[in-house]
A and B are shown apart, each in its own frame.
Chain A
């Protein structure tokens, strides 16, 4: 049979979870990671990364809006998707996750962004005209109260929401790892470490993505990159990356030392079908090189230009590494037979509903949404217009 080596059970020959299921954990991971970066400012008072606070929140929202799309495209029948909400199935982790998603979207991200931007929204609703004015007026929910005390209440409420948001972000992404980790029939997935590895890799990918977006948008706006800000982000990225790498290696070493009945089959797979995506891309290019580069910045005094290049290179490699990690988990787990006697092949299609072009479109779409969000709700702390400041008299 084409693409099959050795013996596969008939239901294992074709892969059911395609590249779209690879994208899904990657996208939710970016959401969780971006939110954690935002929480550094609000909860942990890391003032240096404040320039990225709003950008991180908008990035999280843009990617969260797109997060269900890969699943809906994979399953087909989008009209059935709301059934998950209408007929809740308490014993299904996948079904209950719809509520986690909605909670995170509405009660955490949208609420926090609204609270943080309310002052700006009220001022924009007074300084703009036309459809924009209408839109901002709707967004004010009819309240123009931006008195000092109301903004202080917003600040307090935002702090509480961020505090609730951190475990919510962990649940949002930890759930994906939980789904894989709890599948006892698949030795490649079945590991209690899976949710933790997913959470830390999510933080790494999200923080790296916001760092890259911040540098890119600052360059596009022809402004100077705040080096204290990116240095601090890179420092946190480095620390979290070390934990992530340690956990992934712990999982690997545990598998090698345990060497259960699946080991020979999985080891062969890692050395053959997954060699490039796992050993070369995920561990080599996507982990060791960026870790080395980020460590270099911590121990050596480098010029601002060198640091910028290092951050861009390591951030991009980290994204490639995390995507390949998702690929190795999702696709890798379906390539070998549960008889441990054979392997199948995943051939990605190009122009189909679950093909390469659709995946690329799904990765570009959040950036488009982010562009719209940035236009509507400018996240730049340096760009609060003087006109807005002038209008900033308390209205009650």
Chain B
């Protein structure tokens, strides 16, 4: 009994830990969102909140229903697998209301070199140019038809 009396201060220190741990558990109860860990190391309810965000991209199928001519031209060219909105930007608004929401006109002199500017990091076979030397600042569509960019005999296609 005397031993416990002389070790009493150690129990007090241990009690400090227990109190700290209880405060931690209470704080955790209020701070950690209820749905945390439902699917993984994140707040489960975030999935629903993200899913509720408005859709910005219409998807290429939506474009093709109205722009069949562009689709025909595109499917045989090098850009067949480039989605429409990769260049034109998100256009769900236009797809839902084509008459009042018009996509902005693109500046091909700026747009094309995002992918085609010469860079050692790109695969060797990928078409890439030093824009100033290649076109002297002219818009790319002067020579290339963006939906099917290869230049064939007879001029721009």
Which residues of A are interface residues toward B (Cβ below 8 A)? Answer: 7, 9-10, 82, 85-87, 89, 106-107, 111, 114, 118, 140-143, 145, 147, 149-150, 153-154, 157, 396
3 closest Cβ pairs, A-B complex: A143-B9, A150-B6, A141-B12
A-B contact pairs, 19 of them (CB 8 A): A9-B121, A82-B31, A86-B27, A86-B28, A86-B32, A87-B37, A106-B17, A106-B20, A114-B13, A140-B9, A143-B9, A145-B9, A149-B3, A150-B7, A150-B9, A154-B9, A157-B10, A396-B5, A396-B6
Chain A nearest Cβ from B140, distance in angstroms: 23
Chain B nearest Cβ from A8, distance in angstroms: 10
Which residues of B are interface residues toward A (Cβ below 8 A)? Answer: 2-3, 5-10, 12-13, 16-17, 20, 24, 27-28, 31-32, 36-37, 41, 120-121
The docked-state distance in angstroms from the alpha carbon of A276 to that of B13 is 50
Find out whether the CB atom of B32 lies under 8 angstroms from the CB atom of A141.
no
Find out whether the CB atom of B6 lies under 8 angstroms from the CB atom of A149.
yes
Q: Which A-chain residue is minimally distant from B14 (CB atoms)?
A: A111
Find out whether the CB atom of A143 lies under 8 angstroms from the CB atom of B8.
yes
The docked-state distance in angstroms from the alpha carbon of A142 to that of B15 is 12
Main secondary structure of the interface of B (DSSP, over half): helix
Chain B nearest Cβ from A388, distance in angstroms: 18
The docked-state distance in angstroms from the alpha carbon of A150 to that of B7 is 6
Find out whether the CB atom of B6 lies under 8 angstroms from the CB atom of A87.
no
Find out whether the CB atom of B41 lies under 8 angstroms from the CB atom of A89.
yes
Find out whether the CB atom of A86 lies under 8 angstroms from the CB atom of B31.
yes
Q: Which A-chain residue is minimally distant from B43 (CB atoms)?
A: A87
Q: Which A-chain residue is minimally distant from B32 (CB atoms)?
A: A86
Residue of B12, B31, B36 touching A143 (CB-CB under 8 A): B12
The docked-state distance in angstroms from the alpha carbon of A89 to that of B41 is 7
Residue of A89, A140, A147 touching B6 (CB-CB under 8 A): A147
Given contacts A141-B16, A149-B2, contact A7 B9 (CB under 8 A): no
Residue of A86, A87, A106, A118 touching B9 (CB-CB under 8 A): A118
Chain A residues within 8 Å of B27, by CB: 86
Chain B residues within 8 Å of A107, by CB: 17
Residue of A7, A87, A143 touching B120 (CB-CB under 8 A): A7
The docked-state distance in angstroms from the alpha carbon of A107 to that of B37 is 29
Chain A residues within 8 Å of B13, by CB: 111, 114, 141
Chain A residues within 8 Å of B10, by CB: 153, 157
Chain B residues within 8 Å of A141, by CB: 9, 12-13, 16
Residue of A7, A85, A89, A111 touching B24 (CB-CB under 8 A): A85
